[in-house]
Structure 1
Amino acid sequence: MSNKKLFGLYLHVPYCKAKCRYCDFYSAPGARGVPQAYVDALLRELAKNTRRPDTVYFGGGTPALLSPAQVEMLLRACDPLPGAEITLEANPDVVTQETLNGFRAAGVTRISFGVQSADDTQLRRLGRTHTAAGASAALAMAQKAGFAEICGDIMLALSYYSNAEFDATLALLKNGGCTHISAYLLKIEPGTAFAKYPPDGLPTPDEAADFYLYAVRRLEQEGYRQYEISNFARPGHEGRHNLLYWNCCDYLGLGPAAHSCLDALRSYWPGDVQGFIAGTVQPQPEGDCTAEDFLLMQLRLRTGLNLPQYAARGGQLTAAQRAFMRQCVAHGYAVWQDDTFALTPEGLVVQNAILEELI
């Protein structure tokens, strides 16, 4: 059993009460909870794992549809290391004081709520099934359950958006005890309800960029330091599991549409929940984790790309790339810090364009 390298486990729980209009994640109807047959399938696959994880992440879907007993069963099978970060995603309207107490007792250390907005009209437009008052109540219950790590999501640049809506949502999360906030721009993904019926009142790309930069400033003012393009935390409360992804460490994903990267080899499970339960589908190879992947991931982080580490993975910058990077610095899109090239918030706004030039 190897504990020499950081290792994370991701358990995908695809069940949802309802499909949000912007969501393109793999999901399945789950108003009555998570079938025990699905939990048994996860247990079957966990039994094949020989490494103890530093982090465990229950993602979805809506993992809070699991019962506390099911979470306890799965965590026992995960056998995390002492002090491991154990995260569970939740929708505010599917938790109760009893279930939150149960999740905490089962070993969950970090609860993450998809709040998105403090405006009820906006929530209905998004297809969310909770209200702002319900989100506030869920955060209060999480604090009462003893969670020291509480996370909240904010969506930016929504229909008819304003800085005032962002401020109200930030206040709701801050007052609810959030130590970590994810703030990200709405993206209309193919195959979603929003792709078929685009919402009215969406901001222009320039307006969306202004909302993003406003959010970065306000979050910093309230003590949430940006450490990744969409993630902000009080110092010491950064998400350890997602940092494994961005630092190209090892992680094993289980469940339909879950991805893994082990020893620099990527794989994924087909999006087939019934096939996963039956054991008739298996992970498919997805290619190597390359130096280019490392560059892409590291430039999501405010700490940036360390060139000696990039070189150790086989990466080599051309003269044209270095010249372009110097231009980014000159225009305020990036900074050099010793041997590290890091994007500023203004650079993160146009990250895709920068990466297209660099790759």
Structure 2
Amino acid sequence: MSLGLYLHIPYCFSKCRYCDFYSAPGQRGVPRAYVDALLRELSRFAPDAPLRPDTLYFGGGTPSLLDPADAARLIAAAQPLPGAEITLEANPETVTEDSLRAFREAGVNRISFGVQSARDSQLKTLGRPHTAKQARAAFAAARRAGFENISGDIMLALPHYTQAEFDETLELIEDGGAAHISAYLLKIEPDSAFGRTPPEGLPTSDEAADFYLYAVEQLEHHGYRQYEISNFARPGYEGKHNLIYWDCGDYLGIGPAAHSCMGGKRFYYPADTEAFLRDEAAPIMDGGCGAEDYLILQLRLRKGLSLDEYKKRYGREFSTSQLAFVKNCVKSGYANFDGHTLALTPAGLIVQNSILAELL
């Protein structure tokens, strides 16, 4: 069984207006005490031997605010297996060729840039601190620093959005050498600045769906194959870390608000950086991970849910009424089903929640 290790870096320059992830804005770096706290927790989970994860993911916040030497300390402590995918999320304005080269030397072999849009006016609306020019420079610097596995994020259905804005953003990321692209619909989260004061010019849900289908079509046309609801890759560059989540493998998340699932048991750290630093934030148990979770996560993937694997893992089979519903989904163009594997089409992924509600 694969093991994915997630290290949460909650520090960032400023809070983006759509963001409700746990983070501490107003920072220009990651305190050494926080890195020491992560190392403390790593040794707690693996007191006698290193963890040896298959993947290691630095998420945030803004992990590129880490000192590369501290990233090296954390990687050395975890001792990932040979060939492990080691990802660092990065904001374009926080990196230089020198820092990227130092991250590469520390062991990071996959870099993921939060681009979102190629239009500076849109970036300003979103509260992103970088410009399109900085995004282009970051991609070029990453290539010069020796990164081949580069990912870029695009946000869809933004205020006053157009297909032309998507095209420009795709061009920026593709020209930057990205082998992987994550394309997300903007979601207005209640606890975000946008949730408190929604921006003007948001597309309707039907318009957002059209932008999503256009993005899927264009990304496929440019050689980025969809493998998950929001993720697209050139062959062989699918994100291994997130696939562990979606395949219900074991993953360990360390840091405030980080979630884990080990041996079917879920737990998470409280969202309190100060308590984490003081060693007063023990993980909280959060129930188990079972058949429903597996069905939900597998149907995010274009490969779909194998009914044989579903039965083997959980002893579950689809009922007559579930199979009848699946046939209707196929008829409506929302799914493909060959009797063994149920896979949603792009149109089906848009209404995935409704399909899951029926199946569950």
* Superposition TM-score, scaled by structure 1 size: 0.98
Could you say which residue in structure 2 is the equivalent of 1:335? 336
Could you say which residue in structure 1 is the equivalent of 2:350? 349
Could you say which residue in structure 2 is the equivalent of 1:14? 10
Q: Deviations over 1:247-293 (max 9, x none)?
A: 00001000000000100111111101011111111111111111000
Could you say which residue in structure 2 is the equivalent of 1:48? 44
Counterpart mapping for 1:91-240 below 5 A: 91-240=91-240
- CA drift at 1:338: 4.8
Could you tell me how far apart the structure 2 residues matched to 1:318 and 1:196 are? 43
Counterpart mapping for 1:24-103 below 5 A: 24-50=20-46, 51-103=51-103
Number of aligned residues: 355
Specify every segment of 5 or more residues in structure 1 that has no aligned partner in the other structure, as ranges.
Answer: none
What amino acid is aligned across from residue 333 of structure 2 in structure 1?
Answer: G
Could you tell me how far apart the structure 2 residues matched to 1:156 and 1:39 are? 34
Could you tell me how far apart the structure 2 residues matched to 1:198 and 1:30 are? 23
Whether contact under 8 Å (2:326, 2:337) holds in the other structure is no
Whether contact under 8 Å (2:10, 2:22) holds in the other structure is yes
In terms of mean alpha carbon deviation, does 161-170 or 44-53 score higher?
44-53
What amino acid is aligned across from residue 94 of structure 1 in structure 2?
Answer: T
Could you say which residue in structure 1 is the equivalent of 2:322? 321
Counterpart mapping for 1:254-293 below 5 A: 254-293=254-293
Q: Deviations over 1:1-46 (max 9, x none)?
A: xxxx100100000001000000000001352200001000000011
Q: Deviations over 1:155-178 (max 9, x none)?
A: 000011000000000000000000
* Superposition RMSD in Å: 0.8
What amino acid is aligned across from residue 292 of structure 2 in structure 1?
Answer: E
Give the secondary-structure state (helix, strand or coil) at the position aligned to 2:44.
coil
Q: Deviations over 1:90-138 (max 9, x none)?
A: 0000011111010000000000000000010000000000000110000
What amino acid is aligned across from residue 341 of structure 2 in structure 1?
Answer: T
Q: Deviations over 1:172-191 (max 9, x none)?
A: 00000000000010000011
Specify every segment of 5 or more residues in structure 2 that has no aligned partner in the other structure, as ranges.
Answer: none
- CA drift at 1:205: 0.4
Could you tell me how far apart the structure 2 residues matched to 1:178 and 1:338 are? 36
Give the secondary-structure state (helix, strand or coil) at the position aligned to 1:47.
helix
Give the secondary-structure state (helix, strand or coil) at the position aligned to 2:86.
strand
Could you tell me how far apart the structure 2 residues matched to 1:337 and 1:207 are? 31
Could you tell me how far apart the structure 1 residues matched to 2:251 and 2:196 are? 34
What amino acid is aligned across from residue 41 of structure 1 in structure 2?
Answer: A
What amino acid is aligned across from residue 47 of structure 1 in structure 2?
Answer: S
Whether contact under 8 Å (1:290, 1:313) holds in the other structure is no
Residues 92, 146 of structure 1: alpha-carbon distance in 2 compared, 3 angstrom cutoff = same
Give the secondary-structure state (helix, strand or coil) at the position aligned to 1:135.
helix
User: Equivalent pairs: percent with the same residue?
Assistant: 63
Residues 317, 338 of structure 1: alpha-carbon distance in 2 compared, 3 angstrom cutoff = closer
Could you tell me how far apart the structure 1 residues matched to 2:270 and 2:4 are? 20
- CA drift at 1:48: 2.3
Whether contact under 8 Å (2:12, 2:28) holds in the other structure is no
Could you say which residue in structure 2 is the equivalent of 1:300? 300
